[in-house]
Amino acid sequence: MNMNSNNGSVSDNQLIKNKVAASLARRHRQEKLLRGTGLAAVLISLALVSLLFINIFSKGLPAFWQTSITLDIYFDPSVLQISEKPVQRADEHDNAFRQRDLEWRSEVGRINFNRLISTALMDVLPDAEQHRRHVLRMVTSGERFALRDMVINDPSIIGSTQRLHLLTDANIDVWIKGNIDRSLPDHQQQLSPIVRQWADALYANGTIKNRFSFALFMNPDSRSSLASAGLAGAFMGSLFMMLIVMFLAVPLGVAAAIYLEEFAPRNKLTDLIEVNINNLAAVPSIVFGLLGAAVFIGMFNLPMSTPLVGGLVLSLMTLPTVIIATRSSLKAIPPSIRQAALGLGASKMQTIFHHVLPLAIPGILTASILGVAQALGEAAPLLLIGMKSFVATVSVSPMEQSTALPVQIFLWQGNELRNFFEARTSAAIIVLLTLMISLNAVAIWLRKRFEQRW
């Protein structure tokens, strides 16, 4: 009792002071410990972010440039013996013309364009005569279709010589970039010795060069001609799905949020809906994939592997995010605005649509963009509705089979030609991340631009 009473007695005060002082060193050590570990945790987290980005970018950036070989291709008329390109006659029915055109195209398609390529290669490769069968290994197999398309577009180039940059075989890209151990014995190398020699020689004299890889952006996926595999198909698939999410999930979500926030009576039922929506936002994405497989494909018989189904699934997945975010931006509008409008005789509906909603739009927009960005990166549910199947065309409608950027990443990372596709996958990731970051940047910009403090 005595030690705790304080009659200003100096000795008691001193006693307590001493006790406090004795504890100080230990307590300040603990202070430093918590502060230090906290800082360490922040720094580790930041380091992990940068590690992830540095890793992906250092792997992926080189893949935006790809080796191609400069060849003077002679469009030899003796090889290209084809009839004239059909022109629609005045009295000709569309279908008839289309038929003729198709026949002509398949005629062109039957021509062996590889002969043009190998002829041109023979000119630049030393000792090509002895190694005839290796010559075509220099150029990726898809390039013959590029030549075919050139002829189809403009048959008048027949007979001329064109200087073209043709993509080299994927293995040559790997070899020249040093993505394979050059000291490996022959039987472990993917290229025969002569092709490796040629590649080095042509790279040295500038015939083979690293050029910006338009193929990565312009081409669809390819399995036969790996060097020309591109993201165009996946990009279109993702684009269609984003559009569907934008035009389905966003309006539905905003409407639902308006009802729940402004009109719904506060009772057990709305409480249940609220819990349900919050829970739905945390349901694993793969469950939405199962829903899509069972309902959209199993029950409604919608076509598999299409952006339509993918977009529907992603819309359902994004819906709760949009609802929650819209509700919170509606909540943030102060009641004074509502009271002012109601006080002037506006109906509840008018108050909300004329006064509350316009003020909440920046928040809603931001949330919607973030929701769309999240949907853009989602892969798991798409696998379940068949979007992992290989599609070698660029789809032009959401009803056609397609894949999506994240799924393309999944497909490429599993490709057997690891040396080539590790970089290409990373490049695809960079494209995906760039898209997502731009979407996020737009969202942040919108928020900053229209941010209002009450």
Q: Which of 149, 328, 440, 447 binds another protein (CB under 8 A)?
A: 440
Q: Which ranges constitute the DSSP H helices of 156-258?
A: 170-177, 193-204, 214-218, 232-258
Q: Which of 302, 337, 380, 417 binds another protein (CB under 8 A)?
A: 380
Told to check if 420 binds another protein by CB under 8 A, we report no
Q: How far is the CB of 329 from another protein (least distance, A)?
A: 16
Told to check if 264 binds another protein by CB under 8 A, we report yes
Determine the interface stretch with another protein among 66-74, 227-235, 239-247, 380-388 (rule: CB under 8 A): 380-388
Collapsing DSSP states into helix, strand and coil, what is residue 65? strand
First to last CA, the chain: 54
Query: β-strands 208-212, 161-167: how paired?
Result: unpaired
Q: Which of 433, 442, 446, 447 binds another protein (CB under 8 A)?
A: 433
Give the x-and-dash track for 222-251 against another protein (CB under 8 A). Answer: -----------------------------x
Q: How far is the CB of 73 from another protein (least distance, A)?
A: 37
Told to check if 280 binds another protein by CB under 8 A, we report yes
CA atoms within 13 A on the CB side of 261: 23
Q: Which of 212, 247, 263, 450 binds another protein (CB under 8 A)?
A: 263
Told to check if 146 binds another protein by CB under 8 A, we report no
From the number of C-beta atoms within 10 Å of its C-beta (0-12, 13-18, 19+), residue 137 rates as buried
Q: Which of residues 381-410 bind another protein (CB under 8 A)?
A: 383-384, 386, 388, 406, 409-410
User: Cα 352 to chain center, whole Å?
Assistant: 37
Q: Which ranges constitute the DSSP H helices of 259-306?
A: 268-281, 285-291
Determine the interface stretch with another protein among 174-182, 237-245, 395-403, 427-435 (rule: CB under 8 A): 427-435
Structure tokens at 45: 């987290």
The residue among 138 and 330 lying less far from another protein, judged by its C-beta, is: 330
Q: Which of 250, 258, 309, 314 binds another protein (CB under 8 A)?
A: 258
Told to check if 61 binds another protein by CB under 8 A, we report no
Residue type present at position 26:
R
Structure tokens at 440: 């996020």
The residue among 168 and 426 lying less far from another protein, judged by its C-beta, is: 426
CB–CB of 186/97 below 8 Å?
Answer: no
CB–CB of 66/167 below 8 Å?
Answer: yes
The backbone torsions φ and ψ at residue 287, rounded to the nearest 5 degrees and listed phi first, read -65, -35
Give the x-and-dash track for 8-47 against another protein (CB under 8 A). Answer: x---xx--xx-xxxxxx--xx-xx-xxx-xxxxxx-xxx-
CB–CB of 3/15 below 8 Å?
Answer: yes
Q: How far is the CB of 430 from another protein (least distance, A)?
A: 10
Q: Which of 201, 295, 342, 446 binds another protein (CB under 8 A)?
A: 295
In 109-232, DSSP assigns E strands to 161-167, 208-212
Tell me the C-alpha distance between 454 and 451, whole Å. 10
Q: Which of 88, 112, 278, 339 binds another protein (CB under 8 A)?
A: 278
Tell me the C-alpha distance between 212 and 149, whole Å. 21
CB–CB of 409/350 below 8 Å?
Answer: no
Q: Which of 63, 215, 244, 319 binds another protein (CB under 8 A)?
A: 319
Count of beta carbons in the 10 Å neighbourhood of residue 238: 28
Tell me the C-alpha distance between 71 and 119, whole Å. 10
Q: How far is the CB of 425 from another protein (least distance, A)?
A: 6
Count of beta carbons in the 10 Å neighbourhood of residue 354: 12
The residue among 143 and 261 lying less far from another protein, judged by its C-beta, is: 261
DSSP 90: T
- The sign one gets for the Cα dihedral 285, 291, 294, 296 is negative
Q: Which of 377, 399, 446, 447 binds another protein (CB under 8 A)?
A: 377
The residue among 68 and 402 lying less far from another protein, judged by its C-beta, is: 402
Q: Which of 228, 422, 424, 427 binds another protein (CB under 8 A)?
A: 422
Q: Which of residues 64-103 bind another protein (CB under 8 A)?
A: none
Determine the interface stretch with another protein among 68-76, 145-153, 212-220, 254-262 (rule: CB under 8 A): 254-262
Q: How far is the CB of 23 from another protein (least distance, A)?
A: 4
Told to check if 255 binds another protein by CB under 8 A, we report yes
Structure tokens at 400: 């056609």
| Cross-sheet strand order for the sheet of 65-74 | 161-167, 65-74, 208-212
Told to check if 368 binds another protein by CB under 8 A, we report no
